Every structure is written in C-alpha cells, then in structure tokens.
Chain A
Amino acid sequence: MKRFARLFTEIDQTKKTTVKTKALADYFTHAPESDKLWCIALFSGRRPKRAVTTTNLREWAAERAGIPLWLLEESYPIVGDLAETIALVLPPPSQASDHSLSHWINVLRGLHDIPLEERKPRILNAWDQLDSTERFLFNKLITGGFRIGVSRKLMTRALAKATGQDEAVLAHKLMGGWTPETTSYHTLIEADDPAADQSRPYPFYLAYQLDEPPETLGPPEDWQAEWKWDGIRGQLILRDHAHHVWSRGEELMTDRFPEFARAADFLPPGTVLDGEIVAWEGTQPMPFSALQPRIGRKTVPKKLLREAPVILLAYDLLEENGTDLRDAPLCRRRARLDALLADMPAEAPVRASPLVPFADWEALAKTRAQARDFRAEGLMLKRRESPYLSGRKKGDWWKWKLDPLTVDAVMIYAQQGHGRRANLFTDFTFAVWQGNELVPFTKAYSGLTDKEFDEITAWVRKNTQQRFGPVRQVRPQHVFEIAFEGIQPSPRHKSGLALRFPRMSRWRHDKAPQEANTLDDLRALLAAYG
C-alpha cells in the first residue's frame, strides 16, 4: 500500500500532467501485476464490491477515535469527503505493515463471506496498520469515488508509456465489462487478442464546445452539420448474435433499453453504431424529461416502455461486417451508415440522425436558432475528412449549442460547499415572484468566479436572517441571472417546474430584487420548451 500511497501523493501534489503521467508510468513499470491491474481498474471507475456500509464505517471510526458519532458527522461536510474525515480523526497506527494494494483489496473482498460482527475487527485492524494517506485510500476503496485528478485518458497514456503499446489500442482494450476478478493483467493488457471481449465498445470521440463564430472553422463545404440531440450518447454493438448498449460513461445499459434486442432483426452482426438514445414519438424525439425516468432503472416497467420507447439516432458507423472503420474519413463512414439504414422500417429501434443541409454559415446560424423546435439543443459540426478519434480532441468535432435560456432570480437561501469549497457559501436557492411572494424554483452551485464566491460568502455571513441546520435564509437582496438548458414540469417542486443544468451566469448588481422575473415568466418558458 505504501507504493500506491506514494503514487497517490505524487499525483495529488501536482497539477502538471507530465508529472502525473510519469508517476503512473513508473508505477506501471515497477508494481506487481495484481496491483497494476487494480490500479487500472480504480482509475477507470471500477472498484471492489462494497463490503461494509458507510454507516458502519462512521460508527466504527467514531468509536475508535473516541468521539461521539455526531462530531464525526459534523466534521464530514467541512472536510467534504467521508474517507478523508475518517482517516483524519483516527489515532495514529500502532503497528507497522507494508502489504500490497491487492492484499488490502482482498481483505475487503473477504468481508462478504463473513458475518457483520467479524467485519468490524478486520477494518479496525486495517486502520491500525495504515498511515493517514494509506487509510484515506483504503477508505476510498470502500466508499468509492476515486476522483484524484487522473482521467482514464491520462492513465491510458501512462500505461502506453510503460508498456510501449499504442495508446488507442490500449484504450480499446480497457473498454468493456472486465473487472480484476474476471481477468488478469496479462490477459487484459499483454495478450494479443483485441477481440477477446465481444461486448467491447470503442472509446468515444467527444466534441468540444464551439465558442468562436463558425466562420473560424473555414469553408463550410468541409463540414457536415447534424442536430445535437438531448439524450444519452450510446454505442450499439451487434456481434456474434448478441447486442450490447454502452453509455459514454462506459456503463453497460443493455438491460435498461430492451428495445434494442430487435436491432439484430434489421442489422447484420459485426455492426457498431454511435448515436444518441432518445425517447421517440412517431417522428421526433420526446423531451429529455420523458427519458429521465428510464435512466436510473435497471429494469423497465411495461408502462414506461409504452410511454417512452427509445430508439438510437445513429450518426456514425464504427464497425461494419466486423471491420473497424474509424480511420476512414467521416464522409465515407456516413455514406456507409446511410446505405445501411436506408430502408429501415418504422418499427426498427435505429434511425439515421439526419444531416442538416446548409449553403453557408449564415444560413446555418438561422437553422440553429430553430433547434428547440426540433427538440434539439443546437448543432454538431463535424469535419468531413475526420477520422473517428478517441476522447476529447480539438479540431474536428464541435458542438454549437443554442444560447441557454435565462431568468433573473433572487437569492433566498445559502449553504456552504463541500471539499474544495468547504469554507465558502456556494450552494444557493433562487426564487421568482408570485405576487408579493418569492417562490423558490431552483438551486445553483456554479458559475461565479472565486472572487465573487468570496464576496457573496462575506455578504451571507452578515445577512443571515435565520438558520435551518446548514441552510441559511438570507435577506432577499441579490439578483442573479440563472442560465439553464431546459425546463420541465415537476409536481415535486413548489414552483411546479424544474430546470436542467441551472447555473449562475451573471450577478445582476444592476437589478433590484423587485426587477427579478415572475413565476408566470417561467411558466411561459415551460409552455414553449417543456
């Protein structure tokens, strides 16, 4: 664990990607194979199955630290991370040890087979052998959320450096449904069988946001435009008479969307499509709110299947007849895609996402302005000659979104942030007017500069009217412009509506609270775009 703790410390202490990559590459060169495999697993979002609840952890840690549970609970939001809070309150270890990362993971895996009362002494024993950083990492193995500034891409690059393999090949090897329990370092990384896992998706190519005018992209004839749909990015894989659906976050969603079982009736094996999963009604997507109830569910009730059936709006063909097409230019892939999907019957769960024709950038800008009428968020611009790259790369794929919707709202509650922002007020509740009353309608956390957060924090401290636990009611004085991507009905909220991706886009120092928008204004937006 000391080696892994050292790796963590080196990564955590630097912002420089080169230093992080080097530290990881060193680790991949020197660590034992089982540790390397777990390291790869952890940095690609996999972790051992949880063996103890966080409630258990909190109770045991408080007891071991000799403090009441409430005191640990109160410390947690200030620290911002449970694994760290526990590591910090525990007394120093009384034994020395240097077991490997996989040893400790095996200890955790072994907990599943023993009764709860026997788990506690094992956890306490582990804490008693680990120093503060090791404990933090050990706790993280249990609580999950291993976010320490190492992206999967960076990890893959380091692994490429350490093994001498091509980064893209490795990225592909690391996709799919493996866990350290089902494979070995040798099989996953070293063995030369890229088709070992038939369910394996290709790394997604991600677009950048276009902030400059499209004219900066050069001649329009080099580009193709598509609608940017508001759904779930996914890959549909048909190989060997089985189908698999992957999200961009590399989650296997096959069971969640049983509609795609029928894809094999219309498409040949050896086909991989990239597109957007949307709820579909006849000729156009339904709003994102229709898709939302299906996202969190592993199994789907029949009623929901009827109310919000999904399809894939495909915009790229990555594999045809078992051949990887990613190096071919987009215009060729698109032609193959159109040919493949040309005569799809209406009941097929796949359709080609149509191209949006345009003569020049100015005309395209006018089309983009109508995106909401097509239930789209804007346009995607893709260079016709571009290969299908992996990860977020600048240059060939751009999302050109509509300007967000905005309202001016009054801040009425404030709460302190977590982790990095634990000492600042960063979580706010906003309200709009209904007659003389302010009706809360959204929370927002982001969008202000550090300086503005400092300023509002000082203000909140002096203008608190009432406290409800960690929440403070503040004098309704400040108006903020709230930007958001969508609006939908929500009976759970007092306002009757909910926003998508709300954030503070501007502090309206120039506006008095009376000048904020009204609930009727929001209802009008709901009627137009909900």
Chain B
Amino acid sequence: MSQPVLTFTERGIYCPAGDFHIDPWRPVDRALITHGHADHARPGHGAYLATDGALPVIRHRLGEIAAEGIAYGEARQIGGAGVSFHPAGHLPGSAQIRVEVGGQVWVVSGDYKVVDDGLSEPFEPVPCHAFISECTFGLPVFTWPSQTEVAAEINAWWAANAAAGRTSMLGAYSLGKAQRLMSMLEPQGPILTHGAVEATNAVLRAQGYSLPETIQVMPDTDVKALKGALVIAPPSALGSAWARKFGPASTGFASGWMRLRGIRRRRGMDRGFVISDHADWPGLQEAIKSTGAETIYVTHGYTEIFSRWLKEQGHDAAIVPTEFGGEDGAESESTS
C-alpha cells in the first residue's frame, strides 16, 4: 500500500504529502486548525489555516499570527494533498478537515456534534475512507436530552430564582457554550456576562453571528440593581471573589459531564444542566455511519472502550496515539 494520507507523530496529526499538521500540540511550520479551543489552536506555529468563521476567535486568543482563512467547502491544494473544511457543528466556525491524497480521502473530525444548536453551522457528514473521530463522550451512558428540554429546564430555574430574588449564575466555557446558552434561552431577566465571555461575544457579533443583548459586568456595575439576572461566566469565575458581589445566588453548570451524578456533585454547584457541544453516544454512531468510512481512528476521550466497540461493530478501528492526556476523557472536561 502507498503511504497513508495522515500519520500520527509526536507533534500531532501530520500529512506527509502536503507537509502540514492538523491541530498540532507542538510548534510546527504549517498548521490546519479545526477550531479555536485551546487544546486545538495552540500558539507558536509558523502559519495557520482555519475557516473564515473560526479565524477571528483564534486571532483574538493567540494574538499576532500568520494566518489565512478559508471558506467552508473551498478546495485548496497543499503540496500533494487536496484539503477542504466542512462544518463540525461544535461551535461557530468549527470545522472537520478533509484531506485527499491520490484518491484516498481522510477526514479529521476535530470536535463535533451532530445536532443543530441554531447558532453553529450544522454538522455536515463528509464521505471518506478513514475518519479520525473524537470520542469525548464515547460511552453508552452519555445521551443528551434535546436542546429544547434543557432550555426549558434552565428557563424554569432562572424564573424560579428571579421570583425568589436570587441571581442565576451559570458556568459555561467562554467560547461556544456560553453563546449557545444565551441564544437558546427565553430571557427571564437581563443577561450579564463575565469579561471573558463578553470578549468572545464581541468577536462573534463582529462576524455577523446574532446574539441576544448582554451586559458585561464591570467593577462599577451595580449588579444589585439588575433584578432577576442570569450571569454567564467561565466555571472558574463562579467560585471566585468576583461571584460574591451578586448577593444571594443559585449556581448552575452546563456540560455533558453533568450527566453523571458523581461529577455533578464534585462540581459543587446547585444545578447541573446536561448540554454538550460534543456528540453523545448515539451521535457518534450516527456520524461514523454517515461517513461510510471503513477505518475509524479514535482520539480525545474513552478511546480504548470506543475502539473496541467499533471493532465489534465490524469497523477497522484504532486509537490515535497522543502524548498528552485526552486518552481518559478527563482533560476534555475543560472543553465540554
């Protein structure tokens, strides 16, 4: 057989024909980036290529970088490899990367979810020979309720808090989850944001994504005057001194990990809402099936269990070797 389209090196996923890496974790000359989360878009690369939708956030996070944007579906030739980016449904601008060399098509999923969240460009199945899939939630215990159900649950909690004179403090990652939440909820009062969330809002709004009105909490903001507010902040901020100025509050955390009672309790918040920007167990099966791939490489999650399951289902499955974490699904808790 000829050389594989992609290989797995100590810097990350590498394409020998095109001499580029995808989401590498160590500095390389040329990096193709699926999306702006910290475990995918790292600093220090010579040149970056990402979707036009993802690039502003990546620039915002990494500062001065040599970067180029590409439209979804736009074909680009890099050396001996044909590449294109396709929506992954993970967050606005997020992509799967398709690489074709000598008629062989491989797709790197990055992070993805198959349900349409109404804000991100919806996941698009890309037929391929080999699919490199994340499996952050690759266990049958992870199935998500519908977005409508979760939205109703959060709305009810917010309304009850507002009625009882409590602020609702919702922990969510500042890129992706925070914006998804604010757009899916039915406002029961003003939405206040932590600076980290508002900075991402500003970038996305400038790109034309439509987000509801938000008020950034500044040192001089009179938060007590904003009755019935929902505060959206990174989880780390909820436990800090910053959170104390809101007076009586109920805390919630929105993540796929909230499906597990043990983790929900470890988080120590009043409420856990099960909502994730990653595919759940049925979502993973659906995505894999829709690619028609014979070979599945799994990464980022419960790889050992998930690959065993895929093999039993008749796939040729293998684990992407990674040097740093990910293999137990634990680190991914920070990008859920």
Contacts and interface: CB of A to CB of B under 8 A. Distances in A.
A15 B268 contact: yes
Nearest to B141: A88
A403 B266 CA distance: 30
B262 interface: yes
Interface stretch (B99-107, B120-128, B230-238, B328-336): B328-336
B71 interface: no
Contact of B262 (A65, A74, A80): A80
A509 interface: no
A112 to B, nearest CB: 29
B305 A74 contact: yes
A100 interface: no
A461 B328 CA distance: 9
Interface in B318-335: 323-325, 327-330, 333
Given A71-B305, A74-B305, A12 B261 contact: yes
A72 B140 contact: yes
A422 interface: yes
Contact of A75 (B141, B270, B271, B312): B141
A75 B266 contact: no
A424 B330 contact: yes
B141 A89 contact: yes
Contacts of A461: 324-325, 327-328, 330
Interface stretch (A24-32, A365-373, A412-420): A412-420
Contact of B270 (A14, A67, A81): A14
A416 B262 CA distance: 13
Contacts of A68: 309, 312
Contacts of A67: 140
Interface string A64-82: 0101101110110011110
Contacts of A15: 268, 270
B266 A13 contact: no
A413 to B, nearest CB: 16
A13 B309 CA distance: 34
Contacts of A423: 263, 328-330, 333
B25 to A, nearest CB: 13
A79 B140 contact: no
B141 A79 contact: yes
A306 B169 CA distance: 63
Nearest to A84: B261
A85 interface: yes
A474 to B, nearest CB: 14
B281 to A, nearest CB: 9
A458 interface: yes
Contacts of B268: 15
Report the contact-size class of chain A (Cβ under 8 Å from the partner): 20 to 34
Contacts of A418: 262
A453 to B, nearest CB: 10
Contacts, number: 74
A22 interface: no
A75 B305 CA distance: 9
B68 to A, nearest CB: 33
Nearest to A424: B330
Contacts of B312: 68
Interface string A423-444: 1100000000000000000000
A21 to B, nearest CB: 16
A88 B327 CA distance: 22
Contacts of A457: 330
A85 B328 contact: no
A421 interface: yes
Interface string A382-414: 000000000000000000000000000000000
A462 interface: yes
Interface string B245-288: 00000000000000111110110101100000000000000000
B140 A89 contact: yes
B14 interface: no
Contact of B140 (A14, A75, A416): A75
B271 A421 contact: no
B148 to A, nearest CB: 15
Nearest to B264: A12
Given A71-B309, A78-B302, A84-B261, A416 B324 contact: no
A420 B140 contact: no
B175 to A, nearest CB: 22
B139 interface: yes
A13 B271 contact: yes
B295 to A, nearest CB: 21
Interface string B151-190: 0000000000000000000000000000000000000000
B197 to A, nearest CB: 23
B263 A422 contact: yes
Given A78-B139, A84-B261, A420 B305 contact: no
Interface string A88-107: 11000000000000000000
Contacts of B266: 420-421
Among B141, B270, B327, B330, the one with the most A-chain Cβ atoms within 10 Å of its Cβ is: B141
12 contacts: A71-B305, A72-B140, A79-B262, A81-B262, A88-B141, A88-B142, A416-B328, A418-B262, A420-B263, A421-B266, A423-B333, A461-B324
Given A79-B262, A88-B143, 20 more contacts: A13-B270, A14-B270, A71-B140, A71-B309, A72-B140, A75-B139, A78-B260, A81-B261, A88-B142, A89-B140, A416-B328, A418-B262, A421-B266, A422-B263, A423-B328, A423-B330, A424-B330, A461-B327, A462-B324, A462-B325
Q: Which 3 A-B pairs have the closest CB atoms?
A: A419-B262, A88-B141, A423-B330
